[in-house]
Amino acid sequence: MLTGFEAVREALVQKSEDFADRPPCSLFDHLGFRKNCEGLMMARYGSGWKELRRFALCSLRNFGLGKKSLDQRVTEEARCLCAAFSSNNGHPFDPRDLINSAVGNVMCSLTFGNRFEYNNEKFLRMLHLIEEAFNIGAGIKCQILNMMPWLVHIPGPHNNVLQPFNDSFNILREIVKEHKETRDPAFTRDLIDAFLEEIEKAKSDPESCFIEDNLIFTIFDLFGAATETTTVTMCWALLYMLLYPDVQKKVHEEIDNVIGRDRPPKVEDQVNLPYTNAVIHETQRCGDVVFAGVPRITYRDTEVQGFFIPKETTIIMFLSSVLKDETIWEKPHQFYPEHFLDADGQFVKREAFLPFSAGRRMCLGEQLARKELFLFFTTLLQHFTFHIPEDQPRPREDGCYSLIHTPDHYKLCAIPR
């Protein structure tokens, strides 16, 4: 395990390729996928992964990432989320599922070319199964099966660990099948169409990474990683607003002064909302969602801070040790937005702010996540004051750890402003 800012920075930034590989995952063999078909997140480092990541980045840009069109989609989804919050009429509710649907819809628009209503059963089932599969993937049963894959052939309750994966992939296969049936080669609607085009081009290449199995895995990775982490970060953000009403009040005042309560927030407003921006960054730092990153193995012999590390050594990049480093942050274990403000109250970037990791394996959806967090958070705070329900205890601030760090489920009251 690598800990501390200097060690993690040296590994991720200065020696990025040395730490770019992933440990093998034998469970993929039992999910019915071809050998070396591992999607984006867990794929071994090499030409196939590079080609697939390059395609994903290019496709996301083509379908809105970094463009005004995506800003508009997120803004519209934020409006839909506000309407869903309003429908509770100030009564207590758990915001997680609504937030998950909103974040999931942004990814749907990029990947599938359309969004879903928040009560759409197929949409909700897909989000639930992908979330369940990601949580199970980090659990002890899955890790044991990965180390001892022969256990899969022995009957027992442990075999159920793969069911959410299979169910998720079956739903995604149905969506891909629908795309194949309705696809117009002259018009590329979304990422799935773009991938199907690449499959057509690569038909004669048996070594190509552009095969349908990899398309399924890529969609699964994009939804699981991007949707789950952004949803959880937003849940932390609203939790902190409940626990720190003085911070919520300052955010309200800044939004009122800069944007007002009528026009929707825009990405360009971020530079004029230093305190709100600091609160979002502090939420990511303190919430510490991807606290240990995704496991890696060394691609070649290397060394960090003078210590030799052989090739194919499993490494955990303990990002929490950077985000909570006591030598860098003034109050590392407290929610303190001033970490990102200078003496004049202006926003300041911090070098040790690495919630999206860094280097060759840094989060593919960082730019999208930043837009979503800013536009969803500012829109919600523009329209609502959040309270702890009178009959509910004060929510816990410590959360629970699995693959990601999530807050315990809580309820809130969203009072229109």
Give the H/E segment covering residue 386: strand 384-387
CA distances from 179 to 244, 257, 282 (A): 46, 46, 41
- pLDDT digits over 254-265, tens only? 999 999 999 999
pLDDT tens per residue across span 354-386: 888 888 888 888 888 999 999 999 999 999 999
Whether residue 72 is predicted with pLDDT greater than 80 in this model: the reply is: yes
**Annotated binding-site residue numbers for heme:** 363
- Of the pLDDT bands very low, low, confident and very high (cuts 50, 70, 90), residue 268 is very high
Average pLDDT over residues 36-48: 77
d(CA 78, CA 66) in angstroms, rounded, equals 18
- The pLDDT of residue 354: 87
Distance in angstroms (rounded) separating the CA atoms of residues 309 and 298 = 8
Please tell me the predicted confidence (pLDDT) of residue 119: 92
Distances (CA, A) of 283 to 236, 325, 337, 339, 397: 7, 16, 8, 11, 12
Report yes or no: 416 and 383 within 8 Å, Cβ to Cβ: yes
Tokens of 215: 């398309």
- What's the mean pLDDT in 288-315? 88
Range with the poorest average pLDDT among 76-85, 90-99, 179-188 = 179-188
Domains defined along the chain, listed by start: 5-416 (1.10.630.10)
DSSP 202-234: TTT-TT-S-SHHHHHHHHHHIIIIIIHHHHHHH
Cα(332)–Cα(100) distance, rounded to whole angstroms? 28
Q: Which of 221-230, 236-245, 316-325, 394-403 has the highest mean pLDDT?
A: 236-245
Phi and psi torsions of 34, nearest 5°: -65, 155
Binding-site sequence positions: 363
Radius of gyration of the chain, Cα coordinates, nearest whole angstrom: 22
